């Protein structure tokens, strides 16, 4: 079950043919929410061991259309973890300093160190998405980036980083409903931007960009998972399943004490 939504290298991707409705995969919300809570508890335990072991690194990458639920996902799956061992990086529009370097410079600086779980809210993939759709750079610049990204992630992987990448897949109708909520509910007004409506008009262009990105950058070392995300409860469960299953396989262990503590009494 953990690999239900996993893409395979060189797999053709048609997002319009991939179900965004989590109810197609799980019919019992209460049962799903209980399993999620149990997995999140196990994640906290595994993360504590992962941090203490201080040997390996885990990188979680989240991409989605606007209103896809990246913030809510990250908040839900990480609740209760040791904040010392988790670093969340949100990649906004690059600064002048960042633009003076190659597009991966700022991303590499945010890659997790030993014992750490790094979470990217948006990522280096914006450099083959928004730059493509909005024509921010010529195609001769962004198209070679697929191979550059694969090489970068291969470097991270060979250096001890386990990489999991999640595309939160919502339908166009679900996005419309979420945008409307931001308008109708006063407490959510702050989330609404008129720029969101402009991005919505580019839906088809973004789908084409995402499909090629998913196909070109799914590798054995850094797989993409297309997560049905119309229902938050299924989205959270599906992602937590993948993360916990991965950590189980890594099987982190608490390190032994520095010396023999037998009979040591603190006074």
Please tell me the class of the 15-250 domain: alpha beta
Write down the domain spans for the chain.
15-250
- Residue 129, pLDDT score: 98
> Nearest Cα to 240, choosing from 16, 17, 11, 47?
47
Of the candidates 132, 68, 70, the residue with the CA atom closest to the CA atom of residue 103: 132
Q: How far apart are CA 111 and CA 107, in angstroms?
A: 6
**Cβ neighbours around 65 below 10 Å, total:** 27
83 pLDDT higher than 50: yes
Task: Kindly report the average pLDDT of the chain as a whole number.
Answer: 96
Interatomic CA distance for residues 142 and 135, integer angstroms = 10
Whether 202 shows a pLDDT value over 90: the answer reads yes
Secondary structure of 156-195 as H, E, C letters: HHHCCEEEEEEEEECCHHHHHHHHHHHHHCHHHHHHCCHH
Q: Residue 225: enclosing H or E segment and its boundaries?
A: strand 224-228
Reduced to 3 states (helix: H, G, I; strand: E, B; else coil), residue 121 is strand
| Mean pLDDT, rounded, for 228-255 | 97
Q: Which residue has the tokens 């980083």?
A: 161
pLDDT digits (tens, 9 = 90+) for 44-71: 999 999 999 999 999 999 999 999 999 9
**Would you place residue 178 in the very low, low, confident or very high pLDDT band (cuts 50, 70, 90)?**
very high
Residue 259's pLDDT band, with cuts at 50, 70 and 90, is: confident
pTM for this prediction: 0.95
pLDDT tens for each residue of 117-171: 999 999 999 999 999 999 999 999 999 999 999 999 999 999 999 999 999 999 9
1 falls in which pLDDT band (50, 70, 90)? very low
């Amino acid at each position: 079950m953990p690999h239900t939504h996993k893409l395979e290298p060189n797999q053709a991707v048609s997002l319009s043919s991939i179900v965004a409705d989590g109810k197609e995969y799980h019919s019992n919300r209460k049962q799903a929410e209980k399993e999620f809570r149990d997995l999140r508890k196990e994640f906290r335990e595994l993360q504590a061991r992962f941090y203490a072991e201080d040997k390996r690194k885990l990188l979680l990458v989240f991409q989605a259309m606007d209103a896809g639920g990246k913030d809510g996902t990250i908040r839900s799956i990480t609740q209760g973890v040791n904040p010392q061992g988790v670093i969340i990086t949100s990649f906004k529009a690059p600064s002048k300093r960042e633009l003076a370097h190659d597009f991966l410079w700022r991303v590499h600086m945010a890659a997790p160190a030993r014992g750490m779980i790094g979470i990217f809210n948006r990522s280096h993939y914006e450099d083959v998405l928004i730059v493509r759709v909005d024509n921010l750079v010529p195609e001769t610049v962004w198209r070679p980036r697929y191979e550059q990204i694969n090489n970068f992630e291969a470097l991270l992987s060979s250096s001890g980083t386990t990489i999991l990448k999640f595309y939160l897949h919502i339908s166009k109708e679900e996005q419309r409903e979420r945008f409307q909520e931001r308008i109708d509910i006063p407490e959510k007004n702050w989330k609404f931007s008129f720029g969101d409506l402009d991005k919505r008009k580019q839906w088809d262009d973004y789908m084409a960009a995402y499909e090629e990105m998913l196909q070109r950058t799914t590798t054995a070392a850094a797989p993409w998972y297309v997560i049905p995300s119309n229902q938050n409860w299924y989205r959270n469960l599906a992602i937590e399943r993948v993360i916990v299953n991965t950590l189980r396989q890594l099987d982190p262990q608490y390190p032994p004490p520095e010396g023999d503590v037998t009979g040591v009494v603190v006074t």
